Structure 1
Amino acid sequence: MLDLDQPAPDHRQDALHIVFQRGKLVMDMRSREPCILSDTDLAQNRWEVAREHYIGHWSGQACFAVEIQDICDIDAMRYQAGSLYQLLGRVEDGVFALAGRAAQLLDWQRDHRFCGRCGGQMQVADGERAMACGPCKTLLYPRISPCVIMLITRGDEMLLARNARFPRPMYSSLAGFIEAGESAEDTLRREVREEVGVEVGEIEYFGSQSWPFPNQLMLGYFAEYASGEITPDHDEIAEANWYHPDDLPPVPPPSSIAGQLIQYHCRRIQSR
């Protein structure tokens, strides 16, 4: 539903907006798509735009990522300002991806106001998605951080772990950032070894998901257990164990790729 081929319009009339204030997403609690606001919403609420980025066309309408001024009043009877996490499971995947794209573009512009090479002030480049430095001509594009996320299986069982920083009990697959010079497969084996002390054998690619917390691209894999005893590092991983599909602890929702990996493995077991 998101068309990235259409150029930015010459006007904002009838445009759609993903609105943020102080880094929080502004949501219309009366709407089925609470994060998508109209041009009328901005005008009627007299919200002053501090920064904006054209995202693309959503369902045939131009859509912008917008940050409004901190002093703008938000009607608490209709709107709620919160985290992108609040959209998970409440809206379709396409809508969540749209809001995530908006958040990443605004964060990228905010974090690259000055050139890291010469210190000059940067501006949004004409004709492409980049921040441009006038003095030294440096171009900086939106940053994407690739990560691997892997569900380790041992027959029917899955290795699930609780991250030490999770605010509540939640068990998920392992994950880690790809470092410079690594392949995704190298990262997968290294992260599993570092976090839980086991080795994996065959690896099977599953799929990917944009994860805007703040700018990850999650590459999902299945990995077969090969050897070793589970030994959590107790730095990132508080505890880990093998779990059967019939006796799962609290796991991520299917809106996340971690939840999709777990559900897919469970369906494979049930279909045998």
Structure 2
Amino acid sequence: MGFILGCIPPEKEEKTSLHFLFQQRNLLVKRLEKGYTVPDSEDMAYLGYNFTDKLYAGSLDGHSCYTASYPKNSLIPKGMEFLGLRELYGQMDDIILKIAFRAVQIVVWDETHRFCGACGEATVRKIEEHARVCRKCGQVFYPRLSPAVIVAITKGDKLLLARNKSFPPGRYSVLAGFVEAGETLEECIKREIKEEVGIEVKNIRYFGSQSWPFPHSYMLAFTAEHDKGEIRIDDSELADAGWFGADEMPDIPGTISISRKLIDWFIENHP
């Protein structure tokens, strides 16, 4: 299946459309024999729902994809339920889940930028792009993205993993941190690693990226090598950190995240 991002809906729908409807970031899904999917326009018509405030997110193989907030206190249709996006990994088609990642960020942005942060006047949607503009002062607001780096650091045949205090018990992952204003990505990596575990790194290489809607992060993944220094954790954030071989992995994140892709890359290259 192929998804094409978009902002302007087609004048005429040639196929049924898909609806990504949210309550408090949870997605309305309908149960299948195995797993879940999102309701389509036929489901909505049968149920008598008409979401006039919906936003166009793009097209999946000719099926328009729309997103909106589901009205509070409205009945949940039979055979459907609200589930968190993390819960749906492995229970929903990957592309549908990826569109949901995009959709939830658009909905939350739209809901939280109804008024101008500069003058307080109500904003209106722009037609040609996902943006809201202030009718009084002209300020334009776009969906928020918060860039963050995430790094797999190796030392010979070992990978640096850390346990953040917010993780589930026993969970470890690679290190990550948000980019500060004025920083390059490489500067951010060096600063975050030094702050969190006290070491310095070298040979920083780009690995990949992932949109991560928890709540609106944009993850930029890298690999790097240990240069110098011994681990000294920042105990305000981390509970533990250490070097792990490919056959010594603790509990690690699920395959939904780019953190797991970095760890899998290390394991594949250090059999």
TM-score of the superposed pair, with normalisation by structure 2: 0.93
Which residue pairs with 1:59 in the alignment? 61
| Distance in 1 (alpha carbons) for counterparts of 2:34 and 2:147 | 31
The alignment status of 1:169 with 2:170, answered yes or no, reads: yes
CA contact (8 A) 1:89 1:253 kept: no
1:21 is matched with 23
Tell me the residue number matched to 1:257. Answer: 258
Q: How does 1:144-155 map to 2 (within 5 A)?
A: 144-155=145-156
1:103 has 2:100 as partner: no
Q: What secondary structure, in the 3-state scheme, does the structure 2 residue paired with 1:249 have?
A: coil
**Alpha-carbon distance in structure 2 between the residues aligned to 1:71 and 1:136:** 35
Where do 5+ consecutive residues of structure 2 fail to align? none
1:194 aligns with 2:195: yes
Deviations 1:135-160 (A, max 9, x none): 11111111111110001100110010
Residue 92 (structure 1) shift = 4.1
Q: Unaligned regions of 5+ residues in structure 1, if any?
A: none
- Residue identity matched to 1:165: S
For normalisation by structure 1, the TM-score amounts to: 0.92
- SS of the residue corresponding to residue 180 of structure 1 reads coil
Aligned-residue Cα RMSD (Å) equals 1.9
Aligned partners of 1:179 and 1:50: how far apart in 2? 38
The one-letter code of the counterpart of 2:101 is G
Measure, in 1, the Cα distance between the counterparts of 2:101 and 2:22. Answer: 11
Q: Paired residue for 2:229?
A: 228
Which residue of 1 is the match for residue 32 of structure 2? 30
- Paired letter, 2:149: V
Q: Are the equivalent residues in 1 in contact too, given 2:6–2:57 (CA < 8 A)?
A: no
Q: Is the CA contact (8 Å cut-off) linking 2:16 and 2:63 kept in structure 1?
A: yes
Q: After TM superposition, give the deviation of residue 263 of structure 1 in Å.
A: 0.6
Amino acid at match of 2:143: P
Work out the CA distance in 2 between the residues paired with 1:81 and 1:135: 38
Report deviation, 1:43. Answer: 2.5
For 2:243, what is the secondary structure of its paired residue?
strand
Post-superposition offset of 1:40? 1.8
**CA deviation map 1:79-120 (0-9, x unaligned):** 221211112233344222200100000000111111011110
| Residue 253 of structure 1: how far off its partner (Å) | 1.9
Structure 1 counterpart of 2:36, one-letter code: P
Q: How far off is 1:35 after superposition?
A: 4.0
Counterpart in 1 of 2:204? Answer: 203
Q: How many residues align?
A: 269
Superposed counterparts of 1:66-85, under 5 Å: 66-75=68-77, 78-85=79-86
The residue type equivalent to 1:2 in the other structure is: F
| Number of the residue aligned with 1:245 | 246
Contact 2:150–2:221 (8 Å) recurs in 1: yes
